[in-house]
Amino acid sequence: MSQKLNSKSEVISIRVEPPIKAALQAAADREIRSLANMVEVMVVVYCRAQGHPLEGVSKDTLPNAKAPG
């Protein structure tokens, strides 16, 4: 019996100060992304820049996403 990977997205809820949300929305708008997708991009970029493993995330996911600098 083969095991199916859970391909459903997880739901998270966060509370941020209004200026942080505005900055996130502005970044998402500039890149024509949803807020959720912008958060995903930022997490992937951060984890890769800091050397944190991203288990279950393909190296092909955002292959050009690099931390600024």
pLDDT at 8: 75
Q: What is the pLDDT along the chain (69 residues), one digit of tens a residue?
A: 344 455 678 899 999 999 999 999 999 999 999 999 999 999 999 998 999 988 888 888 877 766 556
The distance in angstroms from the start CA to the end CA of the chain is 47
Eight-class DSSP state of 31: T
Eight-class DSSP state of 61: S
What's the predicted TM-score (pTM) here?
A: 0.74
Torsion of CA 13, 26, 62, 50, to 10 degrees: -70
